[in-house]
Amino acid sequence: MWSAFSLEQGGIQDERFYEAFGFGDSPALADELGQLVLSGIKRATAGSVWSYESSGKGVPKPGHLSVVTDSNDIPLCIIETVQVDIVPFSAVTEEFAATEGEGDGSLAYWRKVHVEYFSRECESTGRSFDEDMLLACERFRVVYPEVGCSKG
């Protein structure tokens, strides 16, 4: 997929590639959230700043490109980061929660599932979840395949 996209674009600068990844922390989430991206419902995601920093990649920046994969690491699409805001967990807005496209789109749902997610993430690294922990709230757009095109 990356090769086809790069060829179509006349080449892509290496520094624009950020990562290949599946959303969430389970195969079921990777598949569910990947499908929400393909359907155009999910246009945002949030990650803990310390997790990005500890990975060595740092927080994604506008213009970065990532390959979204399913639970079997099969590429689904390529997304481009268009905006990143660093905010405490407690300051995430209803509008951002709706843009994430999960559940019923409410802030209450977003907080419930993300407290669970970030608690698991924190526990796995010896940290504790905190409502003041900083998140990178990333908005993205699908750039390949183009919306409305079938996967190939």
Percent of the chain past pLDDT 90, that is, above it, reads 75
The domain ranges of the chain are 2-141
pTM of the model: 0.87
Q: Residue 150: is its pLDDT beyond 60?
A: no
Q: What is the helix (H) or strand (E) element at residue 145, kind and residue range? A: none
Amino acid residing at 15: E
* Amino acid code (one letter) for 52: Y
What's the pLDDT at 125?
A: 82
pLDDT of residue 152 exceeding 50, the answer is no
Residue range 65-76: average pLDDT? 95
DSSP state, 113? H
Q: Which residues of 58-78 are buried (b: 16+ CB within 10 A; e: fewer)?
A: ebbeeebbbbbbbeeeebbbb
- Residue 7, pLDDT > 70, answer no
Q: Does residue 40 come out as left (phi exceeding 0), alpha (psi in the -120 to 50 range) or beta? A: left
Query: What is the per-residue pLDDT for 55?
Result: 86
Fold of 2-141: Sulfate adenylyltransferase (3.10.400)
Does residue 147 register a pLDDT over 80? no
pLDDT band at 13 (very low <50, low <70, confident <90, very high): low
pLDDT (0 to 100) of residue 102:
96
Segment 101-127, tens digit of pLDDT: 999 999 999 999 999 999 999 988 889
Q: What is the pLDDT of residue 146?
A: 60
Phi and psi angles of residue 43, each rounded to the nearest 5 degrees, phi first? -130, 15
* Amino acid sitting at position 114: H
